[in-house]
Amino acid sequence: MNRHAISTRIWHWTNALCVIVLLMSGLNISNAHPWLYWGEWGFSPDRAWLAVPRFPGWATIPSHYSLAAARDWHIVFAWVFALSLLGFMVAALANGHAARDLFTRRREWRWSLFAQELRRYLRFDFAHGGGKYGAIQKLAYALTIFVLLPLMIASGMAISPGMDAAWPVLLDLFGGRQSARSIHFLAAFALLGFTIVHVVLVALTGPWGQLRAMIVGGPGNRDEAA
């Protein structure tokens, strides 16, 4: 049996591409009006809770400021991102990946276990007994896949005036369009944070074997799965 199912591998790389394109085009969009507000409205810096720094060309798509072109990238990849996530969720629930590797069990919810695992990580000891993901690791993956990524989609939908007319409940959910925009921005940076930690941990735990496993499937042992 492969370490990663084919559905997991296809989604992983599709999602990686989507997250990169959406983040970088999103930073270009942020440059158009780099202030964030709470509530329904907000249009000038004096009402902003955050003045966002201007993102440089190397961090944006396209690399020059173009709100029109950045929005094109954003609206195309939003569909790929949302539909591939839905496909992966269905596959992961159907093939047991979610239940086996991503969802924590009740017996794993013990502070002593979390603390023990954290102490091992801080000693750069990433081997897990029995080839299973650790509780912290499961929690990080599950929260990212089942909370953070759907939050990106829902908050993005709440920014769209067409979607707000179709589903006004989105505005109640986020407490207004400008709140949704702020949450979209914060969740994007939480996702960037996850991605950085994820890549660093892969780099620390046999990166070539890890990459190979996420591309061609790899051997069945999960000892070093990051």
Given the rule CB under 8 A, which residues bind another protein?
29-30, 32-33, 35, 37, 40-44, 58, 61-63, 66-69, 71-73, 75-76, 78-79, 159-168, 171, 177-178, 181
**For another protein, the closer CB: 69 or 142:** 69
Q: In angstroms, what is the minimal distance from the CB of 165 to another protein?
A: 4
Q: In angstroms, what is the minimal distance from the CB of 208 to another protein?
A: 14
Helix axes 67-94, 149-159, angle to 10 degrees: 140
**For another protein, the closer CB: 8 or 178:** 178
**For another protein, the closer CB: 8 or 31:** 31
Q: Both tokens of residue 100? A: 């086996």
For residue 201, give every residue at least 6 positions away whose Cβ sits within 8 Å of its Cβ, in sequence order, or none.
126, 226
**For another protein, the closer CB: 137 or 182:** 182
Q: In angstroms, what is the minimal distance from the CB of 166 to another protein?
A: 3
Using DSSP, state whether 50 is helix, strand or coil: strand
Integer Cα distance of 111 and 53 in angstroms: 38
Q: In angstroms, what is the minimal distance from the CB of 181 to another protein?
A: 6
Integer Cα distance of 72 and 158 in angstroms: 18
**For another protein, the closer CB: 168 or 219:** 168
Integer Cα distance of 17 and 24 in angstroms: 11
Q: In angstroms, what is the minimal distance from the CB of 12 to another protein?
A: 19
CB atoms within 10 A of CB 179: 20
